[in-house]
Chains A and B, each alone.
Chain A
């Protein structure tokens, strides 16, 4: 069984569209994250949720809206997509907060045309 799964794996869309990425973890973890990895492989945290509560929101444009329906799921909705949003988005989870070992999903490669 996959520990942290994301869908879709690839997403190609036009500028201005709205899209969502879904993430699920079956590890029983309390904390989930969204990261963005750019073309230079730089990985930066975007959001962190602990037991469905937003803990970290790292100066991300408000076009990005995370939603956690329960502690096993953390979805990312992006409005009005821009060229600069093209990147690989990773979901991750950890048992506790912040500096515990994190388990990553396989990533969603978003390409905005």
Chain B
């Protein structure tokens, strides 16, 4: 299975702190994406990083990708209570049907 696994499963921090979550996957990919899901809502795309990229930034988000280790990390800097959500990585396979396979998710709780 190509399913990604996020680590940690849950993370609790204070506002202003940084949050780092990791994703590991098993097969070669074209790109890796991160999504956020607020409670009771659909997923929202955050950032896409291609297999030939090592780092990407978007606002307070920083994503790294290490294809040799088949892993990625999402860093949220200066976290806010509104960042409280579940975060999922999603990978595609280089062969077979073109689909995204989502990881197990990290539940982030940011306390005021």
Contact = CB atoms under 8 A, between A and B. Distances in A.
Contacts of B30: 99
Interface in B71-111: 86, 88, 92, 97-102, 104-105, 107
A104 B99 contact: no
Contacts of A53: none
B33 interface: yes
Contacts of A103: 45
A43 B88 contact: yes
A56 B93 CA distance: 14
Interface string B37-57: 100111111001000000000
A80 B32 CA distance: 37
Nearest to A43: B102
Contacts, number: 57
A98 B100 contact: yes
A55 B98 CA distance: 9
Interface residues of A, number: 22
A101 B44 CA distance: 10
Contact of A104 (B44, B48, B86): B44
Contact of B99 (A56, A106, A107): A56
A40 B3 CA distance: 15
9 contacts: A42-B104, A97-B98, A98-B97, A99-B31, A99-B33, A102-B45, A102-B100, A103-B45, A106-B42
